[in-house]
Chain A
Amino acid sequence: MEPETNTSLLEIRDLRVSFPSASGHIFPVDGVSLSIAKGETLGLVGESGSGKSMTSLAVMGLVPRPHGKICGGSIAFKGRNLAELTNEEMMNIRGKDISMIFQEPMTSLNPVYTVGDQIVEGILAHGAMSRREARDRAVEMLAKVGIPGPEKRVDSYPHLLSGGMRQRVMIAMALSLDPELLIADEPTTALDVTIQAQILDLMDGLKKERTMSVLLITHNLGIVAESAQRVAVMYAGRILELASTEALFRDPLHPYTRGLLESIPRMEGRVKHLRAIPGMVPSLETLPSGCKFRNRCVYAEDPCGAAEPPLHEAQPGHFVRCRRWHELRAPLEGGGAE
């Protein structure tokens, strides 16, 4: 097999992250496998505690130490297993080949340095340019992300910028060394809708311009539907469903995915009652045996508790972790019951 034909940039296999807990260990990420092709945007969807952010931190080599650790699986980035690299080796990749933007543009910038200093610091850390070139690059990047008067703004402190502008600075910083993979963890959650639209538009444009791959982590199904080519739905540290965006929204196979889609109120049409998923998001300490979703699943039956179902390829490229997916398949009612 020729390696050239394999276009996947990132290949995560059976990733497991562990943290010590009162009763032994918990696994915020428990056997996650996914891949991202060159130029592709993969949406990673889930509720709080589903493990979506921890998955991205593992890719970045940023699992909180000393307690957390990657205890299984591999993260192949262009053929290298990131899980085995030393901190120094990881530092060479982070910010250059893979970079990340976070949810909170307020707390992820240092308030005592100018935005220019912070962008320049990242560029210089990789020793690719002189300080002067780095500064020019910073100005160029600020212009690229649509910050007016970039020559002046480069010397501004973060507190002088609005939330949307700060997120633009974060994007400028993340893209300043032309990474091949951008991890965006809830990049617009802290922003207002009209500003969110600006940022998504900007990210879309920049991504196309440089055939960058994006791992887009969000709880917002609308954002995924618009920006991602494929989607993975996470729950309790596992992927429950993985498919092309088209297939996932048109023909969701897992009861959890269907539940999520039916529980959001729609802009079109109107229903009296939303179809809510019963129960609550489980704690990792008290997960049920077998299928982790079964205690909230209206289709659960005894055998669901016996063994955890594998991630089964139901259709080409469409994977689902449910033993009853075949019999449950039925057309989705748009936006909940009547």
Chain B
Amino acid sequence: MTDRLLDVRNLKKHFPVRSGLLQRVTAHVKAVDGVSFHLDKGETLGLVGESGCGKSTTGRAVLRLLPVTSGEVLFRDKNLLVLGGEDLRRARRNFQMVFQDPFASLDPRMTVSAIVGEPLAAHGLASSRAERDDRVVQILEEVGLDPSVLNRYAFEFSGGQRQRIGIARALVLNPSLVVADEPVSALDVSIQAQVINLLAELREKLSLTYLFIAHDLSVVKHISDRVAVMYLGRIVETARTEALFSSPLHPYTQALLSAAPVPEPGKKSERIILKGDVPSPLNPPQGCPFHPRCFRVMDRCSREVPGLVERKEGHFAACHLYD
């Protein structure tokens, strides 16, 4: 029954660190260190974690926006990581990205028509200027922008409208997979809801599949069917959204959920305050990467890396507590 769109297997992205006179590679930052997940057609997977956990790198690596160290990214059973040249270029129209910062990700000197029409031109999908503009107008209407904005420049728009332009650019090629990297975190509260609603509507209407990367748990909860929590380059827990939020298994997920301030006075739940900072991925702790900050740490945690094991149906956690 399920229609598997994306299958990511043991993805790794290590950045070399060079130092010394000869600029020799002396170490590696393991930004993504063995990440596996899948996405069925029409599904939204939320990827959450704090800065430096590797969630954005994962999103970019999946789309081949950066070279991958190892692993497999199967998009409709085809391994994207072995594609090259024309094959890769052609495949790209099926997966697009929406970026975080609508101020930095749009060229201020390009008109809306040029920004949104560029992917069509790059993929040779419009034979004439008129045909291209038709398609651009059509997608602008989908994202709630008036066609009269066609010849205006990106800098003339507010943050929320720019994000709509960014979404239009991603969708103009009719992709099946969209990676949205913090698409609302740069927006004001009242505008965030507009863009979240838009993304949800477009998902229904155009039967899109989302990899939704964000640090805001309530946003992720709202839009995702399943959620994966990352810490130091690994997925530490993944489950259906309701299960993950109602009964988180991994101590890190528990701390993360308890740390989010709730907009209801007097409702302050028992907060788990973690000690210390996220360790550097250049020198991650031995054993479980979370053990130095964990409030339920045991002896073996500093020795053995826990595997991401299914603890309940569809609920995976990488933690020795449940062995």
Interface set of A (CB-CB < 8 Å, partner B): 47-48, 162, 164-165, 192-198, 200-201, 219-226, 245-246, 249-250, 259-261, 263-267, 270-278, 280-281, 296, 336
Question: How far is the CB of B293 from the nearest CB of chain A, in Å?
Answer: 8
Cβ of B25 within 8 Å of any chain A Cβ, yes or no, is no
- What are 11 pairs between A and B in contact, CB < 8 Å? A193-B217, A197-B258, A222-B261, A224-B263, A225-B267, A226-B262, A265-B196, A265-B219, A277-B194, A278-B194, A280-B161
Q: Which residues of B contact A263 (CB under 8 A)?
A: 189-190, 192-193
The answer to whether the Cβ of B126 comes within 8 Å of any Cβ in the partner chain is: no
**Considering the chains assembled together, what is the distance between the CA atoms of A273 and B199 in angstroms?**
11
Which size class do B's interface residues fall under?
Answer: 35 or more
Q: What is the bound-complex CA distance between A283 and B222, given in angstroms? A: 30
**Cβ of A197 and Cβ of B271 under 8 Å apart?**
yes
Q: Mark B44-74, 1 if CB is under 8 A from A, else 0.
A: 0000001100000000000000000000000
Q: Which residues of B contact A220 (CB under 8 A)?
A: 261
Q: How far is the CA of A297 from the CA of B225 in the complex (A)?
A: 32
Is B255's CB within 8 Å of the partner chain A?
yes
Contact in complex: A280, B160 (CB < 8 Å): yes
B80 beta carbon closer than 8 Å to chain A? no
A200 CA / B58 CA spacing, docked (Å): 30
Given contacts A192-B278, A270-B222, 8 further A-B contacts (CB under 8 A): A47-B189, A192-B215, A194-B274, A197-B274, A222-B260, A225-B262, A249-B265, A281-B188
B188 proximity list for chain A (CB < 8 A): 47-48, 219, 281
Closest to B268 in A: A226
Identity of the chain A residue whose Cβ is nearest the Cβ of B51 in the assembled complex: A192
Of the candidates B189, B221, B259, the one whose C-beta lies within 8 Å of that of A194 is B259
* Complex CA–CA separation, A134 to B190 (angstroms): 45
Task: State the 10 A-B residue pairs at the shortest beta-carbon distance, nearest first.
Answer: A222-B261, A276-B193, A265-B222, A263-B193, A192-B50, A197-B259, A277-B190, A47-B188, A274-B193, A221-B263
Residues from chain A with Cβ under 8 Å of B124 in the complex: none
> Do most interface residues of chain B lie in helix, strand or loop, or is the interface mixed?
helix
Chain B residues whose C-beta falls within 8 Å of the C-beta of A280 in the assembled complex? 158, 160-161, 191
* Contact status A276-B190, CB under 8 Å: yes
Closest residue to A228 on the B side, CB-wise?
Answer: B265
Residues of chain B within 8 A of A48, CB atoms compared: 188
Q: Which residues of B contact A165 (CB under 8 A)?
A: 277
Instruction: Tell me if B264 counts as interface (CB < 8 A to partner A).
Output: yes
Cα–Cα, bound, A275→B225 (Å): 20
Q: Which of A47, A225, A266 contacts B261 (CB 8 A)?
A: A225
From A259, A264, A273, give the contact of B263 (CB < 8 A): A264
Do the beta carbons of A245 and B190 come within 8 Å of each other? Answer: no
Most B Cβ at <10 Å: residue of A48, A162, A201, A265: A265
When distances are taken between beta carbons in the complex, the residues of chain A under 8 Å from B273 are: 197-198, 201
Measured between C-beta atoms, what is the minimum distance from B160 to chain A in Å?
6
Task: Say which residue of B189, B218, B268 sits within 8 Å of A267 (CB atoms).
Answer: B218
For the complex formed, measure the closest distance between the CB of A235 and the CB atoms of chain B, giving whole angstroms: 10
Chain A residue nearest to B274 in the complex (CB):
A194
Measured between beta carbons, the chain B residues less than 8 angstroms from A276 are 190-191, 193-194, 197
Contact B266 A222 (CB under 8 A): no
Report the minimal beta-carbon distance from A219 to chain B, rounded to whole angstroms.
6
* Complexed CA–CA distance, A272 and B197 (Å): 9
A267 touches B190 (CB 8 A): no
CB neighbours (8 Å) of B267 from chain A are 225
Residues of B within 8 A of A (CB): 50-51, 158, 160-161, 188-194, 196-197, 200, 215, 217-219, 221-222, 242, 245, 255-268, 271, 273-274, 277-278
CA distance A249 to B267 in the complex (A): 11
How many residue pairs link A and B with beta carbons under 8 A? The number is 124
B265, A246: Cβ atoms closer than 8 Å: yes
Q: Could you say which residues of chain B place their CB within 8 Å of the CB of A277?
A: 190, 193-194
Nearest chain B residue, comparing its CB with the CB of A223: B261
Residue in A197, A221, A222, A264 whose CB lies within 8 Å of B193: A264
Contact A225 B274 (CB under 8 A): no
Check if B189 sits within 8 Å of A219, measured CB to CB: yes
Question: Measured between C-beta atoms, what is the minimum distance from B121 to chain A in Å?
Answer: 30
Question: How far is it, in angstroms, between the C-alpha of A165 and the C-alpha of B191 when the chains are bound?
Answer: 32
Question: Closest approach, in angstroms, between the C-beta of B279 and any C-beta of chain A?
Answer: 10
Give Cα A258 to B255, complex, Å.
30
Q: Are A281 and B190 in contact (CB under 8 A)?
A: yes
Contact across chains for A281 and B217 when beta carbons are under 8 A apart: no
The answer to whether B161 and A225 touch across the interface, beta carbons within 8 angstroms, is no
| B275 CB, nearest partner CB in chain A, Å | 8
A304 to chain B, nearest CB (A): 18
Contacts of B277 in A (CB 8 A): 162, 164-165, 195
Q: Which of B189, B193, B219, B268 contacts A275 (CB 8 A)?
A: B193
Task: For A266, list chain B residues within 8 Å (CB).
Answer: 218, 263
Among residues of B, the one whose C-beta sits closest to the C-beta of A162 is: B277
Q: Which residue of A lies closest to B266 (CB)?
A: A246
Q: How far does the alpha carbon of A303 sit from the alpha carbon of B6 in the complex, in Å?
A: 55
Give every chain A residue within 8 A of B158 (Cβ-Cβ): 280-281
- CA separation between A225 and B268, bound complex, in Å? 9
The CA of A275 and the CA of B192, in the complex, are separated in Å by 11
User: Which residue from chain B places its CB closest to the CB of A148 in the assembled complex?
Assistant: B276
Which residues of chain B are near A194, meaning CB under 8 Å?
A: 50, 255-256, 259, 274
B258 surroundings in chain A (CB, below 8 A): 197
Instruction: Give the CA-CA distance A93 to B173 in the complex, in Å.
Output: 59
Contact call A226/B192, Cβ cutoff below 8 A? no
Residues A264 and B274 in contact, CB atoms below 8 Å apart:
no
Q: Which of the listed residues B196, B245, B259 has the most CB atoms from chain A within 10 Å of its own CB? A: B259
A322 to chain B, nearest CB (A): 16
Complex Cα distance, B197 from A223, in Å, reads: 24
CA distance A10 to B107 in the complex (A): 45
Which residues in B have their C-beta under 8 angstroms from that of A265?
193, 196, 218-219, 221-222
Q: Are A273 and B221 in contact (CB under 8 A)?
A: no
